[in-house]
A and B are shown apart, each in its own frame.
Chain A
């Protein structure tokens, strides 16, 4: 991303000497390339190699060719895990975007109570994902948690009688809810920043033209937040594809395999069953899918160009 912006900046600048002038030498990117190579490319290469071996973490891996790949692509749980991952990601985006957008825009204002309330809303952001999941695991215990205290609400079929981790639908619901609770503050912060940078004159002009709050929101705030929204959604997308910690603590892929998302299945294969070959197949596929999805998102949304929303002002 940084490189693209720099290039754009250089091309746009008035230095007419062509590419030779002003462009930093390749040497400058060496630290970044070394770092990326060492911690991303090399491990990825190792994982590709490992996916062609059989290894249980003790002793040395031995070559099995594409046996792991064949086994994984005929594994129904693996195939299903992609559907679950897609569902969790979609639910995450659909639930978190409206809430964080509204909260973010509200928090960007200058109301008297804003600072205190906004600070409270940001508390989940300070807690680790593991801590949040453990807290909700206790709060949602069917015999001692909220489902028992608030039986009028949880007792019905909608919440599976309060046994939230016992049915696929409610287990997915719990993961979505906890994800929302955990990540909304982060995205709210992004939207707050975006909303703060919208020039006040636009609202003043709209007010003179007689636009009310709602129209101002839909005709000024929302279009001006376009790039912010793309940033937030791409982060949700990539984060959603690799959701892991909350599944590990809250549902462990259960009931049956209804919350076994791809990244969790990879963990299960590697660190529960010690089939590092099969786990590496999942890792490679997951890395490839995440890369393709992010590329598509960037292209389709025009994030790579990132045109200013304030052109002509």
Chain B
């Protein structure tokens, strides 16, 4: 147990280091102006002849490696090298927040737009990209305006789309559905009868849920609240109207979730707490037919595809997951509509896009601008499409091809026709609230205590 002691120490030291940089800012003057002074002063102290690119570490990093390699081949890239760093999934936002105001901050970093960068922008840590757009108008015109706008704060743009739009959809195992005589659900009632049929046929866990991670549980709330109460409930709550959580529509949505849990849709009571998406445990449940459905972001396509794969680098996945997808056994559907509810059946929830934002103190803005150009080159777009990411560049539709074309075109239409795209609650609310939200949804699934859920949500600070 000696080494676990080190953890405490390490925590203290990190805190002290982070604090020291905080103190520097405080000395140079309070508030955003002070931070800006430090920011400018620090530019020359950043590493020479390199730009640090930080991304969320997962199965999709192969394309980010490709983008960095492409940039390093350009004339600017010979002078200033781009270096790719990754932080494994679950820890990304945590680590990013702790290094952003230190000298270890990345020049360019992955984020989800919206609430995930708002605090950085307020602290004067982000570079507005407007000047990049003036210098190179294609950097703006090559992306869908609605997507660029999701990373716009005030009059300034802060993000360049860099992966794909990621709506949450209902994945299913076609073989399980057809052998049990079940068709993909379009309405809530058909969904419930599907679950009942599957249970009767011996599918013990009709829906795979990584409850141990908590955030996959949140997706069920996002969709049911949208379908029943309409998008306004969450928009109002985000704007500070706490009473939204205590309305009859809110309680009705909670009731629908309870109905699903009581029907045993997620397996025995609380069984979901022993399963983690981040540990790669839900994909094999769908592939092996232990479960029929999984509600997950579109990234699950590549998660399922790379299940059990031993391929490295940019090689295509080769495991049972890849075989499952190429055999056409993976199905996908929009979340069922709820007739009588206020929300449109076309509404989506999920991640609007992922963005690269730029550190205000970056030493090489020109190099960064050149790196960002890669994001709309046909070669990069094709590489993203090849791993199942739906890029939001204007040239995307003409570049969709190959074996995954069906999945990508279906998604593209879904996003195109969505009347509302709800950003995940844990990203729409300030980062300081996300833990509370995750605990609230996990506790509701375990206890079905709606009073506790409502009072927790009422206690959240509104989005700034």
- A-to-B contact residues, CB < 8 Å: 39-40, 42-44, 46-47, 50, 55-61, 92, 128-129, 134, 137-138, 140-144, 161, 163-167, 179, 183, 186, 235-236, 238-240, 242-246, 252, 254-256, 263, 266-268, 270-276, 280, 283, 286-287
Q: Is B1 an interface residue (CB 8 A)?
A: yes
CB <8 Å contact, B12 and A58: no
CB <8 Å contact, B281 and A286: no
A-B contact pairs, 18 of them (CB 8 A): A39-B9, A43-B13, A57-B98, A57-B101, A58-B123, A137-B276, A141-B275, A142-B274, A166-B270, A179-B1, A183-B1, A242-B5, A245-B4, A272-B94, A273-B435, A273-B436, A283-B15, A286-B8
Chain A interface: which of B21-29, B40-48, B75-83, B229-237?
B21-29
Q: Which 9 A-B pairs have the closest CB atoms?
A: A239-B1, A60-B26, A165-B274, A166-B270, A272-B435, A166-B273, A43-B16, A163-B274, A244-B7
Q: Is B153 an interface residue (CB 8 A)?
A: no
**Most central of A141, A143, A274 by chain B CB within 10 Å:** A143
CB <8 Å contact, A46 and B15: yes
User: How far apart are B174's CB and chain A's nearest CB, in angstroms?
Assistant: 20
User: How far apart are A69's CB and chain B's nearest CB, in angstroms?
Assistant: 17
User: How far apart are B90's CB and chain A's nearest CB, in angstroms?
Assistant: 9
Q: Is B200 an interface residue (CB 8 A)?
A: no
CB <8 Å contact, B15 and A92: no
Residues of A within 8 A of B279 (CB): 134, 137-138, 141
**Set B22, B270, B281: member contacting A60, Cβ < 8 A:** B22
CB <8 Å contact, B435 and A267: no
CB <8 Å contact, A129 and B443: no
CB <8 Å contact, A274 and B431: yes
User: How far apart are A86's CB and chain B's nearest CB, in angstroms?
Assistant: 15
**Set B11, B30, B274: member contacting A267, Cβ < 8 A:** B11
Enumerate B212-270 residues with CB–CB distance to A below 8 Å. Answer: 212, 214, 268, 270
CB <8 Å contact, B123 and A59: yes
Known: A142-B274, A143-B275. A273 touches B432 (CB 8 A): yes
**Set A43, A59, A179: member contacting B12, Cβ < 8 A:** A43
A52 to B4, CA, bound (A): 27
A47 to B8, CA, bound (A): 12
Q: Is B381 an interface residue (CB 8 A)?
A: no
CB <8 Å contact, A244 and B4: yes
Q: Is B450 an interface residue (CB 8 A)?
A: no
Residues of B within 8 A of A56 (CB): 97, 119, 432
Q: Is B405 an interface residue (CB 8 A)?
A: no
CB <8 Å contact, A92 and B1: yes
Q: Is B18 an interface residue (CB 8 A)?
A: yes
Q: Is B84 an interface residue (CB 8 A)?
A: no
Residues of A within 8 A of B214 (CB): 254
**Set A143, A245, A287: member contacting B281, Cβ < 8 A:** A143
Known: A142-B271, A144-B281. A239 touches B5 (CB 8 A): yes
CB <8 Å contact, A163 and B19: no
**Most central of B9, B16, B284 by chain A CB within 10 Å:** B16
CB <8 Å contact, A272 and B434: yes
CB <8 Å contact, A60 and B1: no
Q: Is B3 an interface residue (CB 8 A)?
A: yes
Q: Is B327 an interface residue (CB 8 A)?
A: no
Residues of A within 8 A of B100 (CB): 57-58
**Most central of A57, A140, A252 by chain B CB within 10 Å:** A57
**Set A44, A60, A143: member contacting B30, Cβ < 8 A:** A60
CB <8 Å contact, A59 and B1: no
Number of A-B residue pairs, CB cutoff 8 Å, is: 154
Q: Is B285 an interface residue (CB 8 A)?
A: yes
Residues of B within 8 A of A46 (CB): 15-16, 19
A243 to B436, CA, bound (A): 23
CB <8 Å contact, B290 and A143: yes
**Most central of A166, A263, A267 by chain B CB within 10 Å:** A166
Residues of B within 8 A of A242 (CB): 1, 4-5, 7-8
**Set B11, B290, B443: member contacting A270, Cβ < 8 A:** B11
A144 to B432, CA, bound (A): 35
Residues of B within 8 A of A179 (CB): 1
Residues of A within 8 A of B275 (CB): 141-143
User: How far apart are A43's CB and chain B's nearest CB, in angstroms?
Assistant: 4
Enumerate B425-464 residues with CB–CB distance to A below 8 Å. Answer: 431-432, 434-436, 442-443, 446
A57 to B120, CA, bound (A): 10
User: How far apart are A252's CB and chain B's nearest CB, in angstroms?
Assistant: 7
**Set B3, B123, B290, B432: member contacting A274, Cβ < 8 A:** B432
- Contacts beyond the supplied A39-B9, A166-B270, A244-B4: 20 A-B pairs with Cβ under 8 Å: A42-B16, A43-B16, A47-B12, A50-B15, A57-B98, A57-B100, A59-B101, A60-B26, A61-B19, A61-B26, A142-B274, A142-B275, A163-B273, A179-B1, A183-B1, A186-B2, A239-B4, A245-B3, A274-B97, A286-B8
Residues of A within 8 A of B34 (CB): 60
User: How far apart are A291's CB and chain B's nearest CB, in angstroms?
Assistant: 12
- Nearest opposing residue in chain A for B13, CB measure: A43
A122 to B109, CA, bound (A): 42
Residues of B within 8 A of A142 (CB): 271, 274-275
A202 to B15, CA, bound (A): 53
A283 to B16, CA, bound (A): 13
A268 to B270, CA, bound (A): 22
**Most central of A39, A44, A137, A141 by chain B CB within 10 Å:** A141
Q: Is B125 an interface residue (CB 8 A)?
A: yes
A238 to B270, CA, bound (A): 33
A143 to B272, CA, bound (A): 11
A183 to B22, CA, bound (A): 38
- Nearest opposing residue in chain A for B270, CB measure: A166
Q: Is B349 an interface residue (CB 8 A)?
A: no
CB <8 Å contact, B271 and A166: yes
A255 to B3, CA, bound (A): 25
CB <8 Å contact, A254 and B19: no
Q: Is B54 an interface residue (CB 8 A)?
A: no
CB <8 Å contact, A58 and B97: yes
A165 to B442, CA, bound (A): 13
